[in-house]
């Protein structure tokens, strides 16, 4: 029975790969591939579910392919199946199946029909990878896939301004979630000295033994899980991304942001529950966060005057309650609540266009001039204040901008004294010196050795900050992003004995994809004349092939699981000691900003309104 | 004085001017087609669209490459092209111009003028004002205007827009603004627009241009505000809002954002300008490219018109007139009824059909049982003085919990999501595999209860809401008389005369009102059909009609009906009043109707990808019905897509021609109307109604992004009055791409069967009507009823037109042709 688990990953994977090679005009074939594969997945799963229930629903664990192995380090895929997975797959496969059929007609003749189904299948692959995962590494694979498919679906209407802008915004919040997971993985590795499975986390004694002298580290890990979960499930302070993600076609909005994607945060908390079960403080924090979110989000939902944002905030409020249920240890209730909320919001979003005829008709027959609301009984001053706050979404969007991205931009601008075009002349030779000294560590003064990793990782960080705030030169911005990885590798190489193989694994992906990316930018620059980063250019309009290739290059450089860099990132963290929190912080920060800078380059060059034909483009405000 | 360089700023005329140019689309429930570029209608069509394009950045024609492609595929005919060139530039210029049209390379024109002044904020200060101001502004606007989505409504609403915000700002711990100055300015009750403009712009001569730039950066919202300002009753829950208030708030938000981002380190925009922008409304000169595109457009239009005219003027076998027809049917002029009429005549060659605007000449407000409001059922510009009340039945309104606000509250939501949530999964499942009608469906048959009593006849001069309830005998006779005379139905009455209104059914469709009858202000025509039948059946009315030369025999009965154009279903009203004999005939006729509806469904299905046109009529009809209630179907029907003609004349003009559902058809008999009195009424309505529909399709098709609503798939309903993309977007007026994608953008050609001299006099009777023709926003051809010679109208005169197409091809089996493809067909002769 256990070995069957692979099937549920392989079906979506195969479907996604097949869907990539179907010609764009073949609507029927495309939708049939989606229909058959998701349908097959659904049927197989239902049979499997019955079989599993019949056999007394045991927890299943499958250690799958080992991707990389050295002494004391093993990176492998691992799958797990229990009641949590069962519920998530049940809801996920049913909804995806229904939405696939729905979209088959709904998207008829839409430009991007193929792209839509490609992305849905990619999403489905990621979703299954997450919910079937048996360890954090596998979960992380799925997590990254979900992130990128979300980005692509929000920016589905890639020649309009707002979808692209919002896609970048949402991606950046997901990136925060990524780093939460990376840091949690980093510390867990150090405590267990191996990649641990969720099964191992169930072992209460082992957990308490490993955390014995690291009480605060345990709490830190839990909080990292919580940050990832909160980002993904749009809990405070991240809530404002969810309504803004509703830019794609309604069915994709329904399935992603109404139901599946937004409940993945809950999944992480359910999965890691055994780990923080005995940390009362963490459980209180989770509960408080859930409660605050549900109260604030309900207030915001009450004032929303557009259908989709109203559903989004009501859903966030319910997810807040689910977090409370999880924190209280009410797993069964949380699972039922998740399923019900997912179904309800998907359906509500799918029928949301009907709201006009339904409510107008109702109003026509039952109009009462003014409904008395609870808030009317408040003192006016309070009522107005709360109303304005709710209408401004408690400044959540501005808050994220101000306390998250502004400091990064600010830091980047502070580096303006480093003239962009000269940066290469300075850092490349310096890098060579650094590289030389890795092999000849004896030439470095002993006092400096321990400081060097910090210096080098700071340089890496400076490069990505500079890249992120670069306004003109796309190619140099791209080079800085790539160089960042080299500096990080160098920094860690100084930190510990780092074998060549590991460096190769890490940098091979970056180097190859980096070159491809550079080549494409070079070509575009040659053909179009300008690719500054100050505005959107929408070149995928004219150069769809370059657009796709560059997207792949971006993914490769970002450490997406198509590139060896993915394993490499994990390896890198493995070489940061558990007491080097600052180094870990710097490295993870540069990973966040690196991803942002890459997506920014992609979006600015290839997405958005096509810069050269105003006459066929939508208004910026639409 | 040259208006381009008027130095001063005058608030009132400027606001009026902006309103004139803004989109004039009403809230969704009152969606009525109109000329999207109505503001340019005082110029000639090509001149107007050229100005619209260069000033406001709209695309107003197909792309050059698209025309060339049509030419290669033969849809623009070479002979017609040459003819159009010769008409403009003379025979000798044909070669030269053809070369320009077909091969010459043209560079893209300059950027549009709109927005260029305000773009300096970004150039000078690197500040993206729109992205700072719009989200807050749209949100406040939407919340204030909201018709019932929000649970907690705008706390202050009974005052005007700006006063409401001022009150909230003054008595609140929080603020919409981020800085102090804007808040303080708002608090000052005597705030003037000019003062704010002085702060932001600083140069009086630029104020107007700046305001245009500002408002056209979100023309959807501004247009909605201007529309609601002009007719507040268009919102059921009325609001006092003005464009003035919107502009003041926006200027304040701009000051706020500038203060916030630039720490007060900024000066008015004008002080940093190196040169003044070009005046917005300066005349746009015609370039070579403009001329080329105009010629292409004309050639495209006339390639189609020419075939039609060839068909109409060609001699066809006279339809044997056998005295009294088996039944007579009155339909709306709507292009969607064109094929149904053709099938009725095919399955019962003895019947006769007529077309007339679908409100059937009776204009009134309608109040359904328990309805809290009145619904206008007549063309939009008319303001009725009569009220028709529905009575005698109970209102039936099913509820659907999914739309209730309870699901959005925290604790009830908690319960609901764990209970109703699972029900939703089941509903979704059923909806996808077996779609059925539910409370969320907008169904034309629910517009009026078919068993209800209607207050058609005025009793004791009763009045309500300031309107007269029903009509007096004389008023009824007048309406029936003009209806019958305008369509030429004055003798040979059949035992049964059907008056068939139309409506549509759809689900998940915010634009539902656009699918109903345009002559009934975007509502189904069922009430009008019943009302006019009640009048025509009234003995008193008939007695009066006799005195006016119309003798309706006692054996004749008018029967109202409603045709649902989406489902191709029909419902007849008041059948219980039929005598046994009439009933017998009626049963036979129902059979004819059913056959015709099946065939009609089949003809329509050729445009639907998901239905196999080779199936039989009844099978297809069933699928068409399912389609109308499917949540996932963005094209329940194609509405007025492909409309291109409006034919005003006797049915004999078009009988035997296959016009592929592209024609509005208004029956008219020149013999009944020698001095054009009825023709005037017909054209007075047809030009703006059919022309409006046509031009809305035209412009939504050529620029679906700026003049249309774009694809409807990501639409989000805002406050029940509009749609936007996402949550922070501008409102999207116009038609979504799913409605226009198969539409060929050609202007409407009105063809009138009458003598040119009569028509010329008639169209000049009213300035507004004449404007449509003289400025060529619709084309006009008159066919002489005796000689069958065509006369095309241009420059105020009628010129004889000899169709270039020879004899049209004959099609013997139409059904086989329909199964071949989904494209527009040329005009064919059919048996």
| Every domain of chain B and the residues it spans | 23-113+284-303, 120-272, 337-398+438-495+514-638, 401-433
What band does B649 get if pLDDT is binned at 50, 70 and 90?
A: very high
**Which pLDDT value is given to residue B2?**
41
| Most confidently predicted of A437-446, B293-302, B461-470 | B293-302
Q: How far is A298 from chain B (nearest CA, A)?
A: 6
Whether A359 and B715 lie within 8 Å, measured CB to CB: no
Contact B307, B75 (CB under 8 A): no
Q: How far is B334 from chain A (nearest CA, A)?
A: 23
Q: How far is A403 from chain B (nearest CA, A)?
A: 15
Tell me how far apart the alpha carbons of residues A174 and A156 are, in angstroms, rounded to a whole number.
Answer: 18
Alpha carbon separation from B49 to A612, B52, B747 (Å, rounded): 22, 5, 13
Tell me, what DSSP letter sits at residue B725?
E
Averaged pLDDT score across all residues of chain B: 91
Helix (H) or strand (E) holding B364: strand B364-367
Query: What is the arithmetic mean of pLDDT over B589-597?
Result: 96
Averaged pLDDT score across all residues of chain A: 86
Cβ contacts (< 8 Å) between A318 and chain B: which residues? Answer: 410, 413-414, 417
Considering only CB atoms, B407 lies closest to which of A108, A162, A348, namely A348
Window A:390-409, CB contacts with B under 8 Å:
390-392, 397
**Which pLDDT value is given to residue A421?**
67
Tell me how far apart the alpha carbons of residues A99 and A127 are, in angstroms, rounded to a whole number.
Answer: 15
Q: Is the pLDDT of residue B500 over 50?
A: yes
What residue in A sits closest to B413 (Cα-Cα)?
A318
What is the CB neighbour count within 10 angstroms for residue A530? Answer: 13
CB contact set of A213 (below 8 Å; sequence gap of 6+): none
What residue in A sits closest to B447 (Cα-Cα)?
A361
Where is pLDDT greater, at B403 or A385?
A385
How many CA atoms are closer than 13 Å to the CA of A213, on its beta-carbon side?
3
**Which pLDDT value is given to residue B308?**
94
Rounded to an integer, what is the distance from CA B830 to the centroid of its chain?
31
pTM: 0.93
pLDDT in tens, B97-108: 999 999 999 987
**Domain extents in chain A:** 2-358, 418-616
Where is pLDDT greater, at A457 or A446?
A457
**Which pLDDT value is given to residue A474?**
87
Q: Is the pLDDT of residue B350 over 80?
A: yes
Tell me how far apart the alpha carbons of residues B70 and B745 are, in angstroms, rounded to a whole number.
Answer: 12
Q: Give the 3-state secondary structure of A389-449.
A: HHHCHHHHHHHHHHHHHHHHHHHHHHHHHCCHHHHHHHHHHHHHHHHHHHHCHHHCCHHHH
For chain B, say whether A29 makes contact (Cβ under 8 Å). no
Cβ contacts (< 8 Å) between B53 and chain A: which residues? Answer: 615
What residue in A sits closest to B737 (Cα-Cα)?
A110
pLDDT in tens, B128-159: 899 899 999 999 999 999 998 888 888 887 78
Query: What is the arithmetic mean of pLDDT over A289-301?
Result: 94
Q: Which of A101-115, A415-429, B302-316, B706-720 has the lowest mean pLDDT?
A: A415-429
**Which pLDDT value is given to residue A198?**
84
**Which pLDDT value is given to residue B359?**
93
Window A:532-561, CB contacts with B under 8 Å:
none
Helix (H) or strand (E) holding A19: helix A5-21
Q: What DSSP line would sit under B747-801, residue for residue?
A: --EEEEES-HHHHHHHHTT-HHHHHHHHTTSSEEEEE-TTT--EEEEETTEEEEE
Whether A619 and B219 lie within 8 Å, measured CB to CB: yes
Considering only CB atoms, A618 lies closest to which of B147, B236, B710, namely B710
What residue in B sits closest to A348 (Cα-Cα)?
B402
Contact A122, A261 (CB under 8 A): no
What band does A498 get if pLDDT is binned at 50, 70 and 90?
A: low
Q: Is the pLDDT of residue B689 over 60?
A: yes
- For B572, the token pair is 């007849």
What band does A371 get if pLDDT is binned at 50, 70 and 90?
A: low
For chain B, say whether A353 makes contact (Cβ under 8 Å). yes
Angle at Cα B6 formed by Cα B2 and Cα B8, nearest 5°? Answer: 160
- For B214, the token pair is 């500002």
Tell me how far apart the alpha carbons of residues B263 and A482 are, in angstroms, rounded to a whole number.
Answer: 36
**Which pLDDT value is given to residue B603?**
93
Cβ contacts (< 8 Å) between B156 and chain A: which residues? Answer: 384
Contact B664, B335 (CB under 8 A): yes
Cβ contacts (< 8 Å) between B510 and chain A: which residues? Answer: 353, 356-357
- For B691, the token pair is 């022309």
How many helices (H) and strands (E) chain A has is answered by 28, 2
Mutate which: A344, A365, A368, A405, vs B, most B CBs within 10 A? A344
**Which pLDDT value is given to residue A278?**
86
Q: How far is B582 from chain A (nearest CA, A)?
A: 37
Mutate which: B729, B731, B733, B743, vs A, most A CBs within 10 A? B729
Alpha carbon separation from A47 to A485, A528, B145, B225 (Å, rounded): 46, 55, 52, 57
Tell me how far apart the alpha carbons of residues A205 and B271 are, in angstroms, rounded to a whole number.
Answer: 73
Supply φ then ψ for residue B444, to 5 degrees. Answer: -65, -30
CB contact set of B433 (below 8 Å; sequence gap of 6+): none
Tell me, what DSSP letter sits at residue B613?
T
Tell me, what DSSP letter sits at residue B390?
E
For chain B, say whether A416 makes contact (Cβ under 8 Å). no
What residue in A sits closest to B130 (Cα-Cα)?
A621
CA torsion, points B404, B407, B410, B414, in degrees to nearest 10? 150
What band does A443 get if pLDDT is binned at 50, 70 and 90?
A: confident
Tell me, what DSSP letter sits at residue B710?
B
Considering only CB atoms, A305 lies closest to which of B131, B610, B719, namely B719
CB contact set of A51 (below 8 Å; sequence gap of 6+): A1
- For B830, the token pair is 């059919």
- CB-count exposure of residue B831 (10 Å: 0-12, 13-18, 19+): exposed
Contacts 24+ apart (CB under 8 A), A399-408: A399/A237, A400/A173, A400/A237, A400/A238, A400/A240, A404/A172, A404/A176, A405/A172, A408/A465, A408/A468, A408/A469, A408/A593, A408/A596
Mutate which: A357, A612, A616, vs B, most B CBs within 10 A? A357
For chain B, say whether A364 makes contact (Cβ under 8 Å). yes
Mutate which: A320, A358, A542, A617, vs B, most B CBs within 10 A? A358
What's the full length of chain B, in residues?
831
Window A:263-322, CB contacts with B under 8 Å:
294-295, 298, 301-314, 317-318, 321
A289-328 residues labelled b (16+ CB within 10 A) or e (exposed): bbbebbebbbbbbbbbbbbbbbbbbbbbbbbbbbbbbbbe
Tell me, what DSSP letter sits at residue B160?
-
- For B459, the token pair is 């009793």
pLDDT in tens, B404-436: 777 888 888 888 888 888 888 888 888 888 888
Whether A98 and B429 lie within 8 Å, measured CB to CB: yes
Q: How far is B742 from chain A (nearest CA, A)?
A: 11
What band does A581 get if pLDDT is binned at 50, 70 and 90?
A: confident
What's the full length of chain A, in residues?
622
Whether A106 and B713 lie within 8 Å, measured CB to CB: yes
Q: How far is B276 from chain A (nearest CA, A)?
A: 22
Whether A105 and B633 lie within 8 Å, measured CB to CB: yes
Whether A616 and B705 lie within 8 Å, measured CB to CB: yes
What band does A497 get if pLDDT is binned at 50, 70 and 90?
A: low
Q: Is the pLDDT of residue B3 over 60?
A: no
Tell me how far apart the alpha carbons of residues B403 and B381 are, in angstroms, rounded to a whole number.
Answer: 34
Window A:72-131, CB contacts with B under 8 Å:
94-95, 98, 101-110
Cβ contacts (< 8 Å) between B728 and chain A: which residues? Answer: 162, 244
**Which pLDDT value is given to residue B648?**
95
- For A591, the token pair is 């990973």
Considering only CB atoms, B372 lies closest to which of A247, A365, A616, namely A365
Q: Is the pLDDT of residue B716 over 50?
A: yes
What residue in B sits closest to A156 (Cα-Cα)?
B714
Contact A159, A619 (CB under 8 A): no
Cβ contacts (< 8 Å) between A362 and chain B: which residues? Answer: 148, 397
Whether B717 and A98 lie within 8 Å, measured CB to CB: no
**Which pLDDT value is given to residue A614?**
64
Mutate which: B221, B390, B626, B717, vs A, most A CBs within 10 A? B717
Cβ contacts (< 8 Å) between A234 and chain B: which residues? Answer: none
**Which pLDDT value is given to residue A608?**
87
Helix (H) or strand (E) holding B716: strand B715-718
Where is pLDDT greater, at A541 or B61?
B61
Q: Is the pLDDT of residue B5 over 60?
A: no
Contact A608, A537 (CB under 8 A): yes
Rounded to an integer, what is the distance from CA B567 to the centroid of its chain?
20
B20-48 residues labelled b (16+ CB within 10 A) or e (exposed): ebbbbbbbbbbbbbbbbbbbbbebebbbb
Cβ contacts (< 8 Å) between A317 and chain B: which residues? Answer: 410, 413
For chain B, say whether A332 makes contact (Cβ under 8 Å). no
Q: How far is B771 from chain A (nearest CA, A)?
A: 28
Considering only CB atoms, A344 lies closest to which of B410, B416, B630, namely B416
Whether B725 and A163 lie within 8 Å, measured CB to CB: yes
**Which pLDDT value is given to residue B601?**
95
């Amino acid at each position: 029975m256990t070995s069957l688990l692979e099937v549920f990953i392989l079906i979506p994977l195969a479907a996604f790969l097949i869907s990539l090679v179907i010609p764009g005009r073949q609507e029927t074939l495309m939708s049939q591939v989606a229909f058959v594969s998701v349908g097959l997945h659904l049927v197989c799963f239902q049979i499997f579910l019955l079989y599993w229930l019949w056999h007394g629903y045991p927890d299943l664990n499958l250690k799958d392919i080992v991707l990389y192995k050295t002494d004391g380090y093993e990176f492998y895929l691992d799958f797990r199946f229990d009641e949590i997975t069962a519920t998530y797959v049940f809801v996920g496969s049913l909804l995806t199946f229904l939405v696939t059929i729905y979209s088959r007609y709904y998207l008829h003749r839409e430009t991007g029909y193929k792209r839509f189904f490609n992305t849905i299948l990619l999403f489905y692959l990621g979703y299954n990878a997450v919910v079937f995962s048996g360890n954090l590494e596998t979960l992380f694979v799925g997590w990254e896939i979900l992130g990128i498919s979300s980005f692509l679906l929000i920016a589905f209407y890639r020649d309009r301004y707002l979808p692209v802008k919002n896609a970048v915004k949402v991606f950046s919040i997901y990136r925060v979630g990524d780093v939460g997971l990376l840091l949690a993985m980093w510390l867990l590795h150090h405590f267990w000295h191996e990649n641990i499975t969720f099964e191992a986390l169930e072992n209460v004694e082992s957990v308490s033994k490993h955390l014995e002298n690291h009480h605060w580290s345990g709490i830190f890990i839990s909080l990292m899980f919580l940050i990832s979960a909160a980002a993904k499930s749009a809990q405070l302070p991240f809530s404002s991304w969810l309504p803004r993600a509703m830019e794609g076609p309604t069915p994709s909005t329904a399935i992603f942001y109404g139901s599946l994607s937004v409940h993945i945060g809950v999944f992480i908390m359910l999965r890691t529950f055994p780990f923080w079960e005995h940390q009362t403080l963490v459980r209180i924090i989770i509960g408080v966060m859930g409660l605050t979110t549900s109260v604030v989000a309900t207030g915001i939902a009450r004032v929303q005057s557009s259908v989709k944002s109203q559903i989004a905030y009501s859903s966030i409020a319910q997810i807040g309650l689910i977090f409370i249920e999880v924190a209280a240890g009410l797993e069964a209730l949380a699972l039922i609540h998740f399923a019900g909320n997912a179904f309800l919001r998907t359906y509500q979003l799918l029928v949301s266009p009907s709201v006009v005829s339904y409510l107008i008709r109702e109003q026509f027959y039952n109009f009462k001039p003014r409904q008395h609301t609870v808030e009317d009984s408040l003192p006016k001053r309070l009522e107005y204040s709360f109303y304005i706050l709710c209408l401004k979404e408690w400044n959540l969007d501005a808050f994220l901008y101000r306390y998250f991205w502004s400091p990064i931009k600010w830091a980047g601008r502070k580096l303006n004294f480093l003239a962009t075009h000269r940066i290469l002349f300075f850092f490349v030779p310096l890098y060579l010196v650094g590289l030389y000294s890795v092999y000849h560590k004896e030439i470095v003064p002993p006092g400096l050795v321990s400081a060097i990793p910090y210096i080098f990782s700071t340089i890496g960080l400076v490069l990505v900050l500079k890249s992120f705030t670069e306004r003109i030169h796309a190619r140099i911005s791209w080079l800085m992003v790539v160089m960042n990885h080299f500096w990080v590798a160098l920094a860690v190489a100084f930190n510990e004995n780092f074998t060549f193989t590991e460096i190769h694994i890490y940098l091979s992906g970056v180097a190859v994809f980096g070159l491809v990316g550079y080549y494409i930018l070079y070509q575009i620059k040659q053909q179009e004349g300008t690719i500054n980063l100050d505005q959107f250019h929408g070149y995928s309009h004219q150069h769809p092939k370059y657009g796709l290739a560059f997207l792949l290059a971006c993914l490769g450089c970002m450490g997406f699981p198509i590139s060896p860099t993915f394993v490499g990132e994990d390896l890198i963290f493995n070489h940061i000691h558990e007491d080097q929190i600052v180094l870990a912080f710097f490295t993870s920060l540069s990973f966040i900003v690196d991803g942002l800078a890459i997506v920014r380059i992609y979006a600015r060059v290839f997405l958005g309104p096509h810069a050269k034909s105003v006459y066929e483009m939508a208004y910026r405000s639409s | 004085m040259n208006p381009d360089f008027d130095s001063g700023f005058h608030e009132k005329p400027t606001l009026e001017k902006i309103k004139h140019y803004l989109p004039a689309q009403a809230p969704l429930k009152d969606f009525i087609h109109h000329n999207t570029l109505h503001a340019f209608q005082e110029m000639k069509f090509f001149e107007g669209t050229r100005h619209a394009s260069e000033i406001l950045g709209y695309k107003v024609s197909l792309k050059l490459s698209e025309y060339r492609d049509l030419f290669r595929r033969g849809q623009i005919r070479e002979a017609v092209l040459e003819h159009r060139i010769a008409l403009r530039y003379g025979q000798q210029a044909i070669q030269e111009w053809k070369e320009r049209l077909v091969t010459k390379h043209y560079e893209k024109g300059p950027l549009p003028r709109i927005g260029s002044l305000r773009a300096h904020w970004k150039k000078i200060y690197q500040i993206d004002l729109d992205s700072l101001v719009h989200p807050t502004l749209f949100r406040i606007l939407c919340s204030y205007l909201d018709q019932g989505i929000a649970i907690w409504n705008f706390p202050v609403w009974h005052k005007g827009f700006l006063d409401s915000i001022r009150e909230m700002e003054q008595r609140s711990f929080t603020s919409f603004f981020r800085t102090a100055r804007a808040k303080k300015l708002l608090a000052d009750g005597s705030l003037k627009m000019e003062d704010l403009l002085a702060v932001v712009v600083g140069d009086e001569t630029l104020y107007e241009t700046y305001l245009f730039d500002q408002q056209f950066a979100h023309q959807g919202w501004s247009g909605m505000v201007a529309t609601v300002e002009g007719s507040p009753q268009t919102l059921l829950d009325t609001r006092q809002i003005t464009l003035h208030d919107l502009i003041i708030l926006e200027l304040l938000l701009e000051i706020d954002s500038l203060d916030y981002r630039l720490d007060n380190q900024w000066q008015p925009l004008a002080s940093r300008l190196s040169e003044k922008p070009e005046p917005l409304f300066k005349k746009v000169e015609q370039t070579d490219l403009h001329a080329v595109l105009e010629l292409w457009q004309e050639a495209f239009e006339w390639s189609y018109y020419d075939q039609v005219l060839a068909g109409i003027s060609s001699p066809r076998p006279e339809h044997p007139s056998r005295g009294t027809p088996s039944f007579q049917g009155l339909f709306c002029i709507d292009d969607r009824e064109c094929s149904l009429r053709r099938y009725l005549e095919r399955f019962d060659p003895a019947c006769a059909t007529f077309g007339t605007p679908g409100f059937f000449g009776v204009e009134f407000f309608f109040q359904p049982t328990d309805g809290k409001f009145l619904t206008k059922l007549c063309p939009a510009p008319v303001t009725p003085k009569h009220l028709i009340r529905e009575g005698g039945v109970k209102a039936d309104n099913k509820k659907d919990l999914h739309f209730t606000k309870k699901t959005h509250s925290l604790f009830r939501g908690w319960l609901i999501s764990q209970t109703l949530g699972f029900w939703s999964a089941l509903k979704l499942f059923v909806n996808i595999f077996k779609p059925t009608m539910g409370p969320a469906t907008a169904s034309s048959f629910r517009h009026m209860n078919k068993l209800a009593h209607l207050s058609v006849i005025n009793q004791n001069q009763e009045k309500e809401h300031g309107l007269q309830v029903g009509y007096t005998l004389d008023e009824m006779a007048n309406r029936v008389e003009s209806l019958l005379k305008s369509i030429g139905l004055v003798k040979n009455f059949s035992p049964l005369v059907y008056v068939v209104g139309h409506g549509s059914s759809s689900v998940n469709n915010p634009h539902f009102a656009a699918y109903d009858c345009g002559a009934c202000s975007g509502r189904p025509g069922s009430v009008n059909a019943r009302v006019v039948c009640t009048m025509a059946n009234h003995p008193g009315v008939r007695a009066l009609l006799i005195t006016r030369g119309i003798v309706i025999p006692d054996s004749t009965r008018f029967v109202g009906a409603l045709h649902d154009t989406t489902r191709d279903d029909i419902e007849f009203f008041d059948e219980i009043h039929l005598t046994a004999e009439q009933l017998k005939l009626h049963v036979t006729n129902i059979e004819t109707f059913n056959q015709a509806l099946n065939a009609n469904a089949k003809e329509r299905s050729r445009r639907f990808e998901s239905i196999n046109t080779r199936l039989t009529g009844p099978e297809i009809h069933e699928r068409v019905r399912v389609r109308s209630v499917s949540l996932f179907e963005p094209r329940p029907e194609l509405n007025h897509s492909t409309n291109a003609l409006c034919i005003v004349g006797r049915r004999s003009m078009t009988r035997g021609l296959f016009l592929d559902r592209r024609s509005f058809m208004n029956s008219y008999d020149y013999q009944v109307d020698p001095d054009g009195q009825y023709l005037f009424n017909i054209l007075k309505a047809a030009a703006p109604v059919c022309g409006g529909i046509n031009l809305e399709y035209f412009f939504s098709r050529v620029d679906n992004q700026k003049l249309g609503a774009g694809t409807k798939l990501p639409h989000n309903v805002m406050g029940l009055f509009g749609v936007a993309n996402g949550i922070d977007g501008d409102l999207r007026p116009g038609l979504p791409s799913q409605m226009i994608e198969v539409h060929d953008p050609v202007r409407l050609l009105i063809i009138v069967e009458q003598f040119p001299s009569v028509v010329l006099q008639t169209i000049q009777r009213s300035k507004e009507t004449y404007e449509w023709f003289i400025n060529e926003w619709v084309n006009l051809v008159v066919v002489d009823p005796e000689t069958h010679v065509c006369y095309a109208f241009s420059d105020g005169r009628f010129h004889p037109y000899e169709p270039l197409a020879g004899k049209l091809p004959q099609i013997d089996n139409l059904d086989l042709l329909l199964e071949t493809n989904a494209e527009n067909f040329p005009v064919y002769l059919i048996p």
